[in-house]
Amino acid sequence: MSLWGIDLGGTKIEGVILRDASDDKVMLRDASDDKVMLRQRHNTEAEKGYTHIISRIKLLVDNMAGAIGEEPAKLGIATPGSIDPLTGLLKNSNTTCLNDMPFFEDLQNALGFPIKIANDANCFALAEARMGVVPDVVPDAKVVFGVIMGTGVGGGVVVHGQLIEGKHGIGGEWGHIFLDESGGKCYCGKTGCVEQVISGTALQDFYQKRSGSSRKLQEIVALAEAGEDKIAIETIDRLMHFFGLGISTIINVLDPDAIVLGGGVGNIDLLYTEGVRQAGLHIFNPRLETPFLRPKLGDSAGVFGAALLVDTALSDGG
């Protein structure tokens, strides 16, 4: 059967249908256009509230079903935030109207067929592990850690092609492990989280506090590379140090076969050299051999990962 996925973002909802995999298992390791039956997107209109978001998802699914003349048997959904396994309520979403709501139950009732939900960082990791850069570069990888470093910091763990979501539904959430007091208070209520130190937002805030000038991250990186701005250099040096320290914790615990760096911060070239060197200073091994990879799927990773949730559900009986 075809694999259906929805990527729910704060501003847009994107849907994809991947071709029937019954006779073509290569599809699960290939993101080429001939594997995509259909892609559609429309605005989330999150400002109109919780119920409206559910109706927008249903509208997109109905439009896609009408376009191909086929209803989905199951649907995978990438969301900001995750479902709490104990309460069934959605938590940790920056689309705040979804928090503390029975999103899984309400959406499944609205659609009328089974769904599987995972957070967007998990879907990124799953897509890159199964269809993206990892099969190209490390085809025998068993453990993959996918990183998103952008406005916030998130991550996902994939083991033998399956997501590890954990007892609390927070598997891979390295953005909220303690890194350094200088990060200050986090929205999660804790202090010094990884997200408060090395996210794009945190880096811009650090530069502004030190220089008195507000700049976008791309500008700060360019100034540091040109050697023209001591505060920009300090900002990027700080990123390298704390990235190495933060990611070394993941390596010491998971020892992944590959790490994929996504998000705007993940585009900084120096992470793949100096950032990796810094990580090597902190791991429990005399050398660091873990490949750090640039993602292949770009903005498509979330929606492809959502579709692969359905394949995961089928393969494990979920």
Tell me the average pLDDT of the chain: 92
**Cα dihedral sign, 306-311-312-317:** positive
Q: Which tens digits make up the pLDDT trace of 24-45?
A: 444 445 555 668 899 999 999 9
C-alpha 195/C-alpha 199 separation (Å) is 5
Query: Which residues are CB-contacts of 34 (< 8 A; sequence separation ≥ 6)?
Result: 19
What domains appear along the chain, each with residue ranges and CATH number? 3-124+299-316 (3.30.420.40), 139-295 (3.30.420.40)
Q: What is the pTM of this model?
A: 0.91
Beta-bridge partner residues of 83: 90
Is-contact 6 76, C-beta < 8 A? Answer: yes
Q: How many CA atoms lie within 13 A of 128 on its CB side?
A: 35
- Range scoring the smallest mean pLDDT among 3-7, 26-30, 237-241: 26-30
Band (173; pLDDT cuts 50, 70, 90): very high
Quick check: 161 pLDDT over 80? yes
Estimate the crossing angle of helix 230-254 against helix 200-211, to 10 degrees. 150
Q: Which tens digits make up the pLDDT trace of 202-212?
A: 999 999 999 99
Portion of the chain with pLDDT greater than 70, in percent: 93
Residue 299 has a pLDDT of 86
Is-contact 188 176, C-beta < 8 A? Answer: yes
Residue 228 has a pLDDT of 86
Residue 21 has a pLDDT of 55
